[in-house]
Structure 1
Amino acid sequence: MTPTLRPATADDLIAVGALHARSRQAAYRDFLAAEALAADSGDMLGLWWSERWKWERDTHRMTVVDAGDRLVGFSYVGPHELDPIGYGELCAIHLEPDQQGRGLGRALMVDALATLHTLGWHRAALWVLTGNTPAREFYRRGGWTADGVERTEHVGSALAAQLRYVRDLP
């Protein structure tokens, strides 16, 4: 079956949380401790997304990828937390580990950029874990440039360095 992108609904959020946990565990296992990644279970992240959705659904947009009866990816966009007027933010792209390399991440990124533009922004930012070399390369190929701004945030129970990437919107 051909995967399809669609706007998320509240009914998707528990599945999004489980997918988010699996995606992080696979993508971050080479540079974050397993116990740090295990600190946020799929159930916990599902509840976190459900709560976040309540507060942000008017300002943010989530797109999910369906492949048959299975949710296999999602993206989340909204205002940039440090500059809500000038930049939109690509807050997340996550895929099931077995779906990487099929063009779905690229499709989600293209959709996210179009959504940010439709919401009125002309520039976009995102944060990527410094140790996540495959993601950094993915974003570089997508036209994003690291601007040198760094921060440290929790991922599970670990503190992780992040680097901001920016780009103009099409």
Structure 2
Amino acid sequence: MPGSFRKPPPSDTDAARAEPRPGGPVGGVAIRLAVPGDGPAIAEVQRATWLATYHEWIPEAVAGLDPVRTAGNWARASRQPGDRVALALVGGTIIGYAWSGPADERADGELLALYVHPDAQRQGAGRLLLADALAWMSATGRVRCLVWALERHAPARRFYERAGFALDEGHNRSWRGLTEIRYSRAVQA
């Protein structure tokens, strides 16, 4: 792994919140819940993925990412009741995250964000993070999972379509001046 990953110091709650998966990590990728101390590492993954993904479309937003403020936002999100921030790790280093919560619709959950560091993509981390989010939604009584993707971001759209998401025709919105389209799927496939 390149030196751009920053491993946060371990905390006593890291082990308590770790959730081992049956059969161990897939391809060396493990999933665990985020804790407030993970904020800086999550912010670094966000910065790297936004730079790789959005730099041509929203350069001001990418350049304006404040690592301290972003780390604080992730620390707060990790403590937010009703939400879940799960991390993908390789060798103890955070390489990706998924943030899930309730959607506006009553029985739906929403995958609010799923990012894997560009240097760690295509190792199964995204699929594991998505599976974790869907399992959490199922356990909390959600029936359907919603996710928004940029209309012009073909790789993200293909990822969700391969995972069983279908386009919700007529559901779109603007995010930072770009069009997002909504996908959904049953939580239990």
TM-score by length of 2: 0.79
Q: Distance in 2 between matches of 1:39 and 1:109?
A: 28
The CA RMSD measured in Å over matched residues stands at 1.6
Shift of 1:53: 4.2
- Residue 46 of structure 1 pairs with residue 84 of structure 2: no
Q: Which runs of 5+ in 1 are unaligned?
A: none
Q: 1:3 corresponds to which residue?
A: 29
Match of 1:110 among 104, 126, 131: 131
Match of 2:175 among 141, 153, 165: 153
Question: What secondary structure sits across from 2:148 in the alignment?
Answer: strand
Over 4 Å off, 4+ runs:
none
Shift of 1:51: 3.7
Question: What secondary structure sits across from 1:166 in the alignment?
Answer: strand
* Bigger Cα Rg: 2
Q: Which runs of 5+ in 2 are unaligned?
A: 1-26
Question: What secondary structure sits across from 1:15 in the alignment?
Answer: helix
Q: Distance in 2 between matches of 1:77 and 1:100?
A: 20
- Residue 19 of structure 1 pairs with residue 45 of structure 2: yes
Q: Distance in 2 between matches of 1:27 and 1:117?
A: 30
Q: Distance in 2 between matches of 1:33 and 1:127?
A: 17
Per-residue Cα deviation, 1:25-78 (whole angstroms, up to 9, x for no partner): 112234x14333211133332122234445xx2110111012123111111111
Shift of 1:86: 1.9
Match of 1:129 among 150, 153, 160: 150
Native 8 Å contact 2:49 2:116 kept in 1? yes
Native 8 Å contact 2:29 2:124 kept in 1? no
Q: Distance in 2 between matches of 1:105 and 1:126?
A: 14
Q: 1:167 corresponds to which residue?
A: 185
> Matched residue pairs, number?
161
- Residue 74 of structure 1 pairs with residue 97 of structure 2: yes
Native 8 Å contact 1:18 1:41 kept in 2? no
Q: Distance in 2 between matches of 1:77 and 1:90?
A: 5
Shift of 1:13: 1.6
